[in-house]
Chains A and B, each alone.
Chain A
C-alpha cells in the first residue's frame, strides 16, 4: 500500500462515517429541521470525501474533474432541496410531513 492508497482509505472511512452519522441522525432526530441538518452533513461532506478518495485512486485529471462536477451537482441538489423542505416545514398551512409518508 503506497501513500495514495492509505490517504484514499482514510478519506473513504471518514466519508463512510459521515454517511453513517447522517443516516442515524435522520432516523433519530426529533423534528424536520434537525433531520435536515444531519442529512446535509452526509450529502455534502460524505460525498465530498468519497469523491476525493475516488479521484485519488482513479489517478487521472479527467476523472478527478468529473468527480468534482458530480460533487458540485450533489451540493446544488442537496442545498436546494434542503432549503425547500425547510421552507415547507415552516409554512403554517402545510401539513406536517410524517415519516410514514401518507397522512
Chain B
C-alpha cells in the first residue's frame, strides 16, 4: 500500500515537472509549479522530513507561487505578447536531458553503494542533543551548531532585498491594478479571520520549533502570507519610501543575532554561542519578523508599504 503511494507520488512529481516546463501557457505552468510544490511537500513528509515539508509547502508552493502570479499579472498588464512562452527548445534538448538523467542516475547508484561515512554530522548532532536547551535537532543545528550559516542566510535575504531594489531602480515596476472585487464585504470578512489566525499560527510554529517541526523560517513564511494577502487585496499599497517598521523589520534578525553573538564573544564564550533556550527564542523571533518583512517587501516590489484606501 505505502509502496503504491510512494510510486504514485514519484510519478506525479515527474509528470508535474514536465507540465511545468512544457506548459502551453505561462499561467498553466505557474499553477502546475504550485501543485508540484505541494506534492513535493507530501514527498518530504513521506521521507520523514516534516521541517522540510513545512518549508516547501510555505515557501516553495505558497510564497514562490504568489511571486510568480504577481509577475504574471504585471506581464499581462504589459500586453498579450509578454505572457507568451518563449521559443520551443532546440533539437539538442532531448539528448542533453537524457545525458543529464543518466549522469544523475549513475551518481545516485554510486552513492547508494558507498559505505556510510564515519563521523557523519547527523550522528554527532543526535549524540549532543541531550545537553541542548531545545529538543528539536533541526533548530539546534540552525542556531546552536551552525549558527554562523543561519546568520549568513539572513544576510543573504537582506542582500536579496537590496538587490531587488537596485535592479528595479527608483521607479520600480508599474503599480498593480487592484481588482474592484477586493472591496466586497466577504473579502474583508476573510481577511478579518485569516490575518489574526496567521499571526497565531506563525507564533505557534515559532514556539513549536523548540521541540517539534517548525521554526522561524516556516513561521516567517506563514506571517508573510498574511502580508501578501493584504497587499493583493489593496489593504497595504506599495510606497516609494520605507517607513520605520519596514526598515527595522528587515534588519531586526541580523541585528539581534549578531548583537547576541558579539555579547557572547565579549563575555569570553564562543561567538554566536547560545546562553540558553531564551536566547534561541529571542533570535528566532527576530528572524521571523525579518523573514516575513523581507518576503512581503519582495512580493510587493516596493521599498515600503502604507495603508491602502480600502477599509
User: Hey, which bits of chain A sit against chain B, CB under 8 A?
Assistant: 73, 76-77, 80, 83-84, 87-88, 100-103
Contacts and interface: CB of A to CB of B under 8 A. Distances in A.
A85 to B, nearest CB: 10
A80 B190 contact: yes
Contact of A84 (B28, B187, B189): B187
Nearest to B84: A102
A102 B181 contact: no
Nearest to B190: A80
Nearest to B182: A84
A83 B28 contact: no
Contacts of A76: 190, 193-194
Given A76-B193, A76-B194, A102 B83 contact: yes
11 contacts: A76-B193, A80-B186, A84-B187, A87-B181, A88-B179, A88-B181, A101-B24, A101-B25, A102-B24, A102-B25, A102-B27
A83 B80 CA distance: 27
Nearest to A81: B190
B202 to A, nearest CB: 15
Contact of B28 (A80, A102, A103): A102
A73 B181 CA distance: 21
A102 B186 contact: no
A102 B187 CA distance: 25
A102 B189 CA distance: 30
A102 to B, nearest CB: 4
A101 B193 contact: no
B26 interface: yes
A30 B24 CA distance: 22
Contacts of B141: none
A83 B186 CA distance: 8
B28 A100 contact: yes
A56 to B, nearest CB: 19
Interface of B: 24-28, 31, 80, 83, 179, 181, 184, 186-187, 189-190, 193-194, 197
Contacts of A101: 24-28, 31
Contact of B187 (A77, A80, A88, A100): A80
A22 B284 CA distance: 42
Contacts of A88: 179, 181
Given A76-B190, A80-B190, A101-B31, A87 B184 contact: yes
A83 B184 CA distance: 10
A31 B28 CA distance: 19
A73 B225 CA distance: 15
A76 B31 CA distance: 21
B25 A84 contact: no
Nearest to A91: B181
Contacts of A102: 24-28, 83
Contacts of B190: 76-77, 80
Contacts of A103: 80
Contacts of A87: 181, 184
Nearest to B29: A101
Contacts of B179: 88
Given A80-B190, A101-B28, 18 more contacts: A76-B190, A76-B193, A76-B194, A77-B190, A80-B189, A83-B184, A83-B186, A84-B186, A87-B184, A88-B181, A100-B28, A101-B24, A101-B25, A101-B26, A101-B27, A101-B31, A102-B26, A102-B28
Nearest to B189: A80
Contacts of A100: 24-25, 28
Contacts of B28: 100-102
A20 to B, nearest CB: 16
Contacts of A77: 190
Contacts of B189: 80
Contacts of B24: 100-102
B112 to A, nearest CB: 35
